[in-house]
Structure 1
């Protein structure tokens, strides 16, 4: 609008409201502008001087459109500070006050005109009979509006402060959470490493026997909790026969590890005492049941004579051994029996066979063949994998077979794979066993 001169506060207010409506100012900005202009002009009107108001749209350097409202009211001792106004203004060199408000932000609908006091008469009647009362009520309304805006400013400041504090708190909590996660991961790794070292210490060291090559692979269901109930033992008996025990104790964790160790130690003791192979599973049950009535474990026992290749197997509910012949044929060596902790424990018989030069014997736990929850399908895949890797160095076979079998894992479980291959005894005569 072009500059207009006003000599009454009412006319000035109407003009300011018109400016707010014409330029679609948000309601909170329009209310603050109205109060600020009224307070600056009131001092001039009280001294009997008119004021001049102008409004023009401007383009800021960033391309943003601003509404510049300038009030020429002069300065009197009663004039308020421009910084203390509801909408702080900028004093110009000509003694005027200017406000610059952004346009086009779409924050709020345009402000509604200030309501007239209840029972207000038309303008001509007010001017003739109640102008002073009307102005007093308007002043009161402006005062109430000023208080409300001040309260809004206070609450807005408090809200920003709380948001900042909340952001800092959230940042601190997030940082603490990250630290706790890192610490927890470190503890899990350290715990797992300790358990791995402990379990490795509990497993028997490798033995070297002329005429027989042996290797083993073990993988826990949970790498961070490597203890489990899948154990093995191998030793050389006084008659030169290699004895191998494979155990799968029910459950996971330290308790199953203890159970599996108890089984392997009992079997080792009975084997060294010379008990018949067919009686060892039942005798192991008789020894351990009074001390651990909840113990349940499957057991597979193998005896191999390095010179002749004579093979004897006893079984207690364990998956059958797999033999892959040097000519590529294969067969599962089934022996009926019930495990330790089962009803009527013991091996029903002893299977006798012969490992010829180049034959591969695979002993394992069910975690190898039941990772896809179908033991029959798993046994078929084990045959193919063992045949594919049978000519590799024995030390590579158990790990390579386990990798083939675990390309898809639907049922994670501890896994043990042990490979034995009959080889020619380079020294001849009685095989010797030594610790590496």
Structure 2
């Protein structure tokens, strides 16, 4: 099929979310993702990948993907090829393929030279490197697949090969803001007219003792030690919070210019209005606790979209259930709305109790969840929140899914390295 080259596009042409691919614990469809997010159903459970006793660390909960079969999602992938790929690669390829399928983006709908794949991962294939270095996998270097399994960018590259994407293919690695930054790169690519569609997402598989030890070394209250009820391990904004649980998986969005999506009759979940990211150039592990820096960034991202803070109907939080993160987000809202009492701040919620902390995927999960909230006109709650920390006492969605009018939403993410990123999303009408 012949495709004509496209000229640059106007920034007035909206970028929209037309597809969502989800490979998370007990979640392989958009519907199951929405049911878990909106229903406040934690997929965090008892840690089985390793035991606290074996590792000698007080970590008992994680959001794990159990046995995974890629074949329903990648029917054209030959067994001889899949045998060389790691679980991380196959899960990510499945999420990319599902995002394209959910968007209804057929192979004749886009010039392959103008279809891009941009992913985010904070740590890449740690599990493979662990087994290879420790010698626990005798076959780690047994075939040419070792090159695939060991490179953090291979899930994106192999996904592009499978789906026929010949545009920009790359992987961002920037801790917990990487997902939002990948979306920002996708926006630039689409608005510059360099791509017609971008499959943008992330993959993370951090459930290893070594990763848990990194966070335990930072002191108490960073990674949850909950043992009695693993499903309640993550409790953002709660007076009894004790940190996050590790989560794994891959989530991918299909982003297109609205004109192209509408021309082919695609269903649109939401508009991606704008993105901004910044480095505070301050403390490497603690974000600004006055809230003023984050409030300024939110103000700027809304101005880019021609909107104001007064129009925001909802904030999708980073919500890690650590004291500094929770407090920083609450202070950011107070700084953004200095004239409002706490009870009148816009509603906020976190999905970390559902799927744990997925680092490089976290921002993608936020935007996927927020897109569905805009689509369904329903806010998803923060699960496990019962007694609100007085320092964070404002309008939390925690009573269950809240049906309401939502036109403008903001997704927030924070990361080590003094970094913050935000994405503004709007309702498709």
Under a length normalisation based on structure 1, what TM-score does the superposition of the two structures give?
0.22
Under a length normalisation based on structure 2, what TM-score does the superposition of the two structures give?
0.22
| Higher relative contact order structure (alpha carbons within 8 Å, sequence separation ≥ 6) | 2
Q: Rg bigger for which structure?
A: 1
Q: Which has the higher helix share?
A: 1
